[in-house]
Each structure stands twice: as structure tokens, then as C-alpha cells.
Amino acid sequence: MRRLLAGAALAASLIAAAQEIPPSERRSSYELMGRETKAMQDDDTSNPATFWVLDGESAWKRKAGAAGKACVDCHGDAQSTMKGVAARYPAHDAKSGRLLNLEQRINACRVDNQQAKPLVFESRELLALTAYIAKQSRGLPIDIRPDAKTQPNLDAGRSLYNRKIGQIDLSCAQCHDQNAGRHLAGNPIPQAHPTGYPIYRLEWQGVGSLQRRLRNCMSGLRAEAYDYGSQELVDLEYYLMWRARGMKVETPAVRP
């Protein structure tokens, strides 16, 4: 019986693997955008997210908290020290023993080293710092390598991705794997690779995080969205970044 179950599990995992989009067919949703929206992203002086990046650069140099330290005092020039960092996040944090996304890592650093209050999720300053740090990885391939510590997060993320949720009763995979490239109410369904977060989304008229986007999709399915910073969302972020491994970081991207 156990062997039979193991066989069934293996078959199920093979089916799941078969449904995953092969690397050669992965496409950034940049390619689905119109000419004007692409032009916005391509030129930093037309991309409104540049305001957040510039704010992030100031925040990087600004002292905060009881320790009277700024990011730059420990980390130096972000252009070199933060290069490639966002491409490796979410990542396991040895101190807390948890998987942290980039926003949570920034806040952990604020609390532990600057002795400052953590920034609120989706606040201008947290988005600005995240955009500034993530921009230093622009053009680099997403590099997520699960190990013994993070494999459970990957499995949890994959399981959530494939689970039907909400009154609409759809899983992420049903749209973004099985029907990617087709249309939903006139809009092309993207493959959902988080290559450019935080993004400037025209619908938001501002910059937002990947978790905000995930929560949007969940409320669209009439599901109760997980809270910002919840383990479920971080695991899902981890799975999505792993799924997009090798694709180039576009931060700060523009999306419709």
C-alpha cells in the first residue's frame, strides 16, 4: 500500500512538473504590454517608479533609529553591495529561522541594527527602499536555489499555487500555467513571473509590492487574501521566484 501511495505521489509530482512552463517558453509579462507602456519602463526618466527609486536612495543614506545609523553606514554603496541581492530573495534568515522577503529583510535590519521601528507594508518608504535595492539587480538572472531549509517553503508555495481558492474556485496554475497567453475579458493572461517588483502599476497609479499583487489576484477570486507578511504569501513569493529562476530582474517595472 505504501509503495502504491509513493508511486501515486511520484506520478502526481511528474504531472505537476510536466505542467510547469519550460525555461525556453518563459515570458516576462513585459512582452504582453503595448508600445507606450514598454517605453515607460525602458526609459528611467519616463518611468514614474524612478521617483520611488530616488526616494529609496535618500532613505538609504538617512540615519534612522536609536542606533543613529543609516543603511549606507554598514552596507556602503548599494550599487555594489546590493547588486544581485533582490535576485536571491525571499531567502532564509538564520537569526529568525524563517524565510524572509526583501521587505521583511529590510525591516529586520531596521529593528536589529538601526533600532528603529519597522516600516509599514506598502508604505512609501518601504517600497522606496525595496525598489532602490532591487534596482541594483536589474538585468541579473533570478537565482533561487532551494536547500534543506527552504525546500518546505517551496513545497508550501507550490501547493498554494496549485490549490483552488475562493468562490470562483480557481488555482493560480489554472490561469497562469494552463491558460497563460490566452485572454481573460480582453486582457492577455500573463505567466505570472515576478521579474519586476516592486512595480509601478498603472491601475494603482503608484508603486506596489508582489504581495499587493498577489492579494489583488486573491480578492479577484473572491478568496480571503492572506495578510501582508504572512508565511503563506512569502512561501508563494518564493515559489514564484523559483519558477522564474534564470529570468532577468526588471525592477522597477511598469505594468498595466
Quote the least distance from Cβ 146 to another protein, whole Å. 38
Distance CA 182, CA 214 (A): 20
Closest by Cα among 189, 191, 192, 227 to 211: 227
Tell me whether residue 172 is one of the annotated catalytic residues: no
Quote the least distance from Cβ 210 to another protein, whole Å. 21
Quote the least distance from Cβ 138 to another protein, whole Å. 17
Catalytic residue selected from 71, 74, 172, 217: 217
E strand spans, the chain: 91-93, 98-100, 183-184, 187-188, 199-201, 206-208, 254-255
CB of 45 or CB of 167, closer to another protein: 45
CB of 167 or CB of 205, closer to another protein: 205
CB of 20 or CB of 43, closer to another protein: 43
Cβ(49)–Cβ(207) under 8 Å?
A: yes
Quote the least distance from Cβ 245 to another protein, whole Å. 32
**Distance between first and last Cα of the chain:** 51
| Torsion region of 169: left, alpha or beta (phi above 0 gives left; psi -120 to 50 gives alpha) | left
Quote the least distance from Cβ 204 to another protein, whole Å. 9
Number of neighbouring beta carbons within 10 Å of residue 19 = 11
Distance CA 4, CA 10 (A): 10
Closest by Cα among 33, 238, 204 to 127: 204
CB of 187 or CB of 205, closer to another protein: 205
Residues lying near another protein in the complex (CB under 8 A) are found at: 40, 43-46, 48, 50-51, 54-55, 58, 202, 205-206
CB of 61 or CB of 163, closer to another protein: 61
Indicate the pairing of strand 91-93 with strand 98-100.
antiparallel
Distance CA 210, CA 134 (A): 12
Catalytically active residues are 217
